[in-house]
Structure 1
Amino acid sequence: MLIDFSFENVTSFRDEQAFSMTRDARFVEEGGPSISTVTAVYGANASGKSNFLYALHSMRDMVVTSYSAGDGTSDIHRDPFLLRENPNDADTAFYVSFIATDGQKYRYWFRFDDHVIHEEELSVYKIMDEESGKLSTHPSRLFARNETVLEFGPSFRGPKAQVKKTVELRPNALALSACAAAGIECTQSAFEFFSTGFGYYGGGGFDKEYPFILEQFNQQNDFSKKLAALVKYADFGISGLRSVPVEVDANMFERLKHKFVEELGADEQKLEKLFTPQQQTRLMFRHGGERSFAMLGVEQESDGTLAALAFFSLALRVLSRPSVTLVDKIDTSLHPTLVKELVSLFVDPQTNLHGSQLIFTTHDASLINVTGTADRLIDPDQIRLVEKNGDGASEIYPVTDLKVRKGENIGKNYLNGVYGATPRPNFHEAFAEMMSLEH
């Protein structure tokens, strides 16, 4: 579970930014969770909303791949803020605190440039009382790094010499990634938070989800039955889904295979295993009732139906385990009512048994266009705003920094520009002037 995240010098974010999933006590019922399961990110077009999610996801990718990708001479991939002199001279940094699957809280941060990791540190807040699960208020260091000098704390257990040697040979690789490659048990839960607990999805990302969905229907497993039921209840006029074989002309397949082998140098044996006419299936949607129905393919379904199917599949997967899910433009092709229902799955503890978290960007103000507290899905402390300053640098901040009242209609005030972070279109007069000149 993500608690805090800070970063600097990533895409449109120049200065250090602080983000937290910790709830504001003013908006939490007595006995309610102190860590939020949802955060909605609002802002004008090109303000940096997507870049914020990218920062989170690029931190995750770097932890997972920095040791396995490349060698000791490889550059480190990053996207620094470019609107400054000598942008590659400024370091990029990430800081994160989280609760891993072992129930312990970790604190991890690292700083780097295009070539080397300059600093890195991992600490753990040990459980002091097994019965209550109470955590120590003082972190115990697992390891700390300054350039290629790696020091270990009292909580580290494992082959220290091996990890030290790796860091010396790979100054461009994170020590946490090296520990994972070496099978160090004391850091494994921290690594798994990034490797298995993070997911990034673009709005309407059906193409990315489709292979997984198709495989579930090929197996006719419990997941596919649940997914079919959700689509049916969503009232799209779909009464069922199933995978069916695709008829492939054998002669055409042989010609394609020959083309791949002769012109592209593909391995013929591998090609036979990966792609044969017998293995191809497609997803079909059943429309209509018992007596009169039609089977339609993916290409005949609306973007909204496919987007909903992708999000149903995503929700079933990520809500089955502790996870952090990043969704960019969640309202793409989805009706506001359906977006609200999907978000509510993460808000409601009855559907979110593992405390899975959803962080998403959106322009859908109907989610927060509520007065009072009774029917509020997203509280003010679960809303972040992003806008660019005069230097072209993005900033992200909680709406609670603006001293909002508990029952304030955040959506209405946001659309009216009370909080900033909204478009300031002034092209209407300019356009009218152009048209008058043309006339």
Structure 2
Amino acid sequence: MLVSFSVENFRSFRVEQTLSLVASSRHAGSHEGHAIAVPDSEEKVLKTAVLYGANGAGKSNLFKALKYFKSVALRPRKKNTGTGREAFRFGGASEEPSSFDLQFIVREQLYRFGFRIDDHKIVQEWLVKITGNKERVLYERATDENGRVQIEGDYLKSVNEKLSALVTVGGPQNQSFLATIRATLDEDDIGSELASIIDWFLEGLKLIDPTQSIAPLGHLLSSDPKFLTFAGTFLKSSSTGVDHLSVQKTEITEEELRAILPETVAERVIQDVSKSPHNTAVVDMAERGELLIEKTDAHHYYRISVQAAHEYAPGSVAQLDLADESDGTRRLLSLMPALNHDDDSGAVYFIDEIDRSMHPMLIWKFLQFFLESCKADRHQIIITTHESNLLDLDLLRRDEIWFVEKSATSETHIYPLTDFRVRKDLEIRKHYLQGRFGAVPFLGNLDRMLVERGNV
């Protein structure tokens, strides 16, 4: 679970801004099932956060900040390629390091991982284990002016000789030490604790932009009959016109695979399956379905397509390719894995622009279903949206509602509804649209333009 995320000097964030999902004690009696206890703490962490703001205010920049943070945590970088960071450019902060810090829960344990980074190197990096009021540094990293990386961490040295040797070497200056560990050592050589942290970043922190699916849908639908039934039933209940879903999985030859994909892509995918811990690789071909490669004794190649059945008369059904469905239906289906959680892995779903192509009532029901269906587990959902119907205190707690606003100096600030004194019976949506909480567009200049054009 994500407890808090802080960012400074990145894109439209100049001074440090923090999204905190720590539940407010002032609202302890509100939607009690929306908060889960933080291990070894009296605090609780919320299961959802909904961020509002005008176009260009910086909502998606928070999403991009977390996406960049995840890439630094996991991905190796080539020597002398820099760090790829995007500093705040509307002032004198661009030469200063950018800072990122994330508190998160993995396997009932609270951690903090973060770094300070400039255009060329990671200046500092830290991984801390938090138990109650005590913090144990698992490692700290610093890079000097000559690019030499120094790692301090008795914990890492105690795991095994290979990890201890890597601590001595340090790794590239433009690459996080966590990424160096992942790229250099096998899972058995890094210990279960580090392995679980890396796995959470890789599989548990799911960042979904408006054009993405949470998971390869064809592969998921073909491999999980329960999800296939669930997804079809949910689409039918959502008045999409879909009665049920079906999947076709057809084995193809390697020659057919190479005829479908460009040669470089085919080679990379075949190589990736050999490195995959799940012994599979999936290629999303958008409207043409998916390609699945499975490694057993030999490689097997499959083409997967999804069809939606429409009952146009009693007993009469027409099958349509998923590509022929509306954007809204496909968008809803692409997000549905967030509703179908049978484990308690603590996955975080950060969905940017959830309202893209989806009806307001459907977004409301989607979020309600998530909150009602995951009361006993640690899954979370964070969304950015313009859809004001979610500003409903029957659906959300006040500390689950956040606003994003850009100042006159082009700096993004984020703040929760709890910064305002509001009555329990206040119609939040009405007051938001009237501008009481900020984070709305100022459209006065458009009215002036009409006057100047002589239309008013």
One of 242, 250, 254 as aligned partner of 1:238: 242
Distance 2:305 2:213 in 1: 15
One of 122, 141, 144 as aligned partner of 2:140: 144
Matched, 1:114 2:119: yes
Deviations 1:392-426 (A, max 9, x none): 11111112112333443222211100111111102
Paired positions, count: 409
Deviations 1:121-176 (A, max 9, x none): 222124xxxxxxxxx31111111222222211468632454232342x41222222
Change (3 A) 1:177 1:219: closer
Distance 2:113 2:181 in 1: 14
Distance 1:422 1:304 in 2: 25
- Name the counterpart of 1:130: none
TM superposition score normalised by structure 2: 0.79
One of 68, 76, 82 as aligned partner of 1:75: 82
- Name the counterpart of 1:25: 25
Distance 2:224 2:404 in 1: 43
C-alpha displacement of 1:266: 7.6
C-alpha displacement of 1:39: 0.2
- Name the counterpart of 2:385: 362
**DSSP-derived class of the 1:149 partner:** strand
Matched, 1:125 2:130: yes
Change (3 A) 1:81 1:218: same
Change (3 A) 1:26 1:118: same
- Name the counterpart of 2:100: 94
Change (3 A) 1:29 1:198: same
Change (3 A) 1:410 1:21: same
Change (3 A) 1:344 1:318: farther
> 1:141 touches 1:152 (CA, 8 Å); kept in 2?
yes
C-alpha displacement of 1:197: 1.1
Deviations 1:28-52 (A, max 9, x none): 2287632100000001110001101
Distance 2:208 2:260 in 1: 36
One-letter identity of the residue aligned with 1:240: H
Distance 2:113 2:347 in 1: 18
Distance 2:260 2:52 in 1: 51
Matched, 1:418 2:436: yes
Distance 2:164 2:223 in 1: 46
Change (3 A) 1:214 1:119: same
Distance 1:273 1:19 in 2: 37
Matched, 1:297 2:304: no
Higher normalized strand content (fraction of residues): 2
- Name the counterpart of 1:397: 415
> 1:318 touches 1:325 (CA, 8 Å); kept in 2?
no
**DSSP-derived class of the 1:55 partner:** helix
Distance 1:283 1:208 in 2: 14
> 1:5 touches 1:95 (CA, 8 Å); kept in 2?
yes
Matched, 1:223 2:227: yes
- Name the counterpart of 1:336: 360
> 1:140 touches 1:155 (CA, 8 Å); kept in 2?
no
Matched, 1:309 2:326: no
> 2:138 touches 2:153 (CA, 8 Å); kept in 1?
yes
**DSSP-derived class of the 2:134 partner:** coil
Unaligned 5+ residue runs, structure 1?
127-135, 371-375
TM superposition score normalised by structure 1: 0.82
Change (3 A) 1:59 1:334: same
> 1:231 touches 1:309 (CA, 8 Å); kept in 2?
yes
> 2:9 touches 2:98 (CA, 8 Å); kept in 1?
yes
Deviations 1:293-347 (A, max 9, x none): 2222223321221112112234325976311111011111112221112112332
**DSSP-derived class of the 2:243 partner:** strand
One-letter identity of the residue aligned with 1:335: H
Change (3 A) 1:266 1:385: closer
Matched, 1:353 2:371: no
> 2:7 touches 2:100 (CA, 8 Å); kept in 1?
yes
- Name the counterpart of 1:14: 14
One-letter identity of the residue aligned with 1:291: G
Distance 1:314 1:79 in 2: 30
Change (3 A) 1:224 1:391: same
Matched, 1:187 2:205: no
One-letter identity of the residue aligned with 1:96: L
Tell me whether 312-321 or 73-82 shows the greater mean CA deviation.
312-321
Distance 1:347 1:259 in 2: 40
Deviations 1:164-212 (A, max 9, x none): 2342x41222222333443322433333331221011123x3x645x82
One-letter identity of the residue aligned with 1:424: F
Change (3 A) 1:391 1:154: same
**DSSP-derived class of the 1:81 partner:** coil
Higher Cα radius of gyration:
1
One-letter identity of the residue aligned with 1:57: K
- Name the counterpart of 1:133: none
**DSSP-derived class of the 1:40 partner:** strand
Distance 1:258 1:195 in 2: 29
Distance 1:119 1:243 in 2: 48
C-alpha displacement of 1:260: 5.7
Distance 1:355 1:273 in 2: 30
One-letter identity of the residue aligned with 1:360: I
Distance 1:176 1:433 in 2: 58
Tell me whether 28-37 or 395-404 shows the greater mean CA deviation.
28-37
Distance 1:346 1:273 in 2: 29
> 1:304 touches 1:334 (CA, 8 Å); kept in 2?
yes
Change (3 A) 1:347 1:266: closer
Tell me whether 31-40 or 148-157 shows the greater mean CA deviation.
148-157
Change (3 A) 1:24 1:155: farther
- Name the counterpart of 1:42: 52
One-letter identity of the residue aligned with 2:244: G
Tell me whether 187-196 or 211-220 shows the greater mean CA deviation.
211-220
Percent identity between matched residues is 25
Change (3 A) 1:345 1:355: farther
**DSSP-derived class of the 1:310 partner:** helix
Deviations 1:218-271 (A, max 9, x none): 44633222222222222322222113479x9x9xx99x949967xx8987x979
